[in-house]
Structure 1
Amino acid sequence: MMPLNEEIIRKHLKMYNKVSGISCFLTDENGEVLYAEGMVPQYCMQFKNLTGDKCPCTKSHLFAGKQAEKIGESYIYFCPGGLANWVAPIVIESIYRGALAGGPVQMSLPDDYVVDKIIDANKFDISNRGMLKAYLNLVPVIEPEKVRYLSEMLYILAKDIMAEEASVLTERKKFYQNQAEINENIQHAKITGEHITQYYPVELEDELVSRVKRGDKKGARIILNELLGHALFSNGNNFELTKARVLELMIMLSRAAVEGGGNLEMIFGLKYEYLHEMYELNTVESLCEWIMKVLECFTDCVFSIGNPNNSITIQKAVQYINKNYMNSISLESVSDYVYLSTSYFSKLFKKELGINFIDYLNKVRVEESKKYLFDLKVPLSDVANIVGFTDQSYYTKVFKKIEGVSPGQFRKTRCR
């Protein structure tokens, strides 16, 4: 097992302490403190003296570190002494090796109630009240927002220590966030459960396809999470039904990537590879993680950009278009946004994406207009203006060119 580079860790902790003025320390995989930088508050020393061999601090550090490892980011927690701490995990070779920790601090002004609760919870003699209260007043008070930034700063240092291994935490953070979003959607479904089993959000599937075709990874992920939440709620504990539904979503994603201009052979090859992976999955969590990986890969296939420098510029332009398509944007305004001349940006855009600027903008607007066509409450005459077309007839012409039917015909056939 690769040893921790304690010299680098000490250097990082010293720098953190000097810059922030907050005490910090390193714990091992068992929660034991290996090294500390800064003064240990007298309140903490007295708490340890009073608890003796039963001091719960080590277990508290271990629990917080493991929680941080689980969610893939820093974790703020209250120690048994009632003080705020934060921790950033260190994972080497996919194994939890310990954590960097900051604190303790108070996130509000000292309160006698806190001391009374600590005395009561740990069965301390009441004669210790005055001393604990006096020592608590010496613990620094840091507002919650600053504590959050301090925790994020510590996490940056932990990632620097882990170097390439930090990608493990990044993946865990994404997985945890996805699970949280899916759970939120399930809870929402439970609240509106009278109708959820009878109604499948087909319009969300169309929106998902639209996002993938445009290479909008973030927007597609949000919608996919909602669809997963619906699938899990509707199918209950039937894993095979859920698996079949997720398989349908994968097929839909692959088609969207092809329609968006992705390489057909590459996508079909990935599809075959992912099918083999899917057969090995046996938990809902692994299934959700897998389909998110599929989504990212297929979305990346839509616009595979070669030169990394060009990639950043064009991705920035695409993000700007996706965010502002409903406004009056032009080739000139977007080229100004990415600090390129209009002619060079136009050539670069076509070279990297295989589609010229105005065609891409029209494609985005048409895809977005579909969700308003699905909504019968929105007058057909208003749709063009909502998505950025200033001329109704031009919108109809562009829509028919891309979809093969007029907006009115699309609404009639898809919203019967």
Structure 2
Amino acid sequence: MKMQDLQYICKLIYESFHIPVIYINENDVVELEFTSLNIESPFHTSKQEMLKPFQFYKDHFPFPLFVTTDYYENYFMIQVMDHNQYKGTIIVGPTLPYDLTNERVNALIHDMPIRKDLSEKLVHYYELLPRLSNMKFINISMQLYYMLFQKTLDPADIILKNIELGEDLLKIEDPHVAISQKRENVSFHHDFMYEKRLFQYIKEGRKDEFLKIYKLSPEKGELGVLSKKSQLRNSKNLGITAITLATRAAMEGGLHHEIAYTLSDLYIQNLEELTDMKTVDAFMEQALSDFADRVRKHKQHRYSKPINRCLNFIYTHLYEDLTLTSLANLVDLHPNYLSSLFKKEVGISIAEYIQRTKVDEAKSLLTFTNYSLLKITTILNFHDQSYFTKVFRKYTGVTPKKYKNTLEKGQ
């Protein structure tokens, strides 16, 4: 890519979103910079010192990499490559979490071991930084990536790839690499459907889906404030509430109550021992996802290996046309034997299990999306809307339309 094209793209991102954009070349020299002169970090004495945490990773990663500093500054990086050779890195940021209100800033500063004069500079610095939801920040990274490489990205893939890199990158002293890790762990005063979906995934043992939406803050609403004086105490209080709700969801998902309560006590005790926000955030992600993982393993332990493979295949291919023959080929068993084994272990036939699972998915789509009945019928591979309605009513007692209307009245 020509430098003039790179300059145009970086300038366009800065002027469109008013977020600082810097390009450093392969020698770690700043070649392009678009930023407001008023935004100067009180934590660094020079630009070189500020950029130091971003010079640690030269291996190729073909997606935006998200970084959050110890002071809640959010950045993302995109590498510029030429014939598989590293040429430089575009750094976009800093921004702040959209829900970091002035009250929470004061509580956060209260927990920082810094001088009073630096506290005042920090308040001013935070006032100048743009505040963005995590989803918007991810969308900006996708837009920049497309402008550079003409390649589309999926936000869920970006999240999971950042998680996979997380263990190595967390060894770096300054940045805590994860997507939107600097928000409170679970929201109780904002989007009720977001919270409901989080704990529904724990109940169902769907760890990957839980992690995908856990990393994304809702666009509206604010987090509950359970301690006005200390942001660390506030995070711990919210964490304790989240663990309590996750414990209940895991028991509803089949996890034995003694195991669930023991985990709850252990996690709350460990949570109270933590001394900084970054560790609390990482701990809560691990704790809540562990509940989901344990529910999944509990469900799998009930069945033989062939049946578990079928259940996993149905779950991951639910939007496809699932048949007894395709499942039999998957586990290398005769269709009649698989059918008999499935009903013996699961208690219902394969056809009924697929229908029930698709109806459960349809309920989720009706609850959490604006999809029309026709679209849900089509993507779940029902023959037609009339047949979908018949199957849905068979297992729920109501039509999809009435189910949707009941949800809307309840909200």
Tell me the TM-score normalised to structure 1 length.
0.45
Higher-RCO chain (CA-CA 8 Å, sequence separation at least 6): 2
Larger C-alpha radius of gyration, 1 or 2? 1
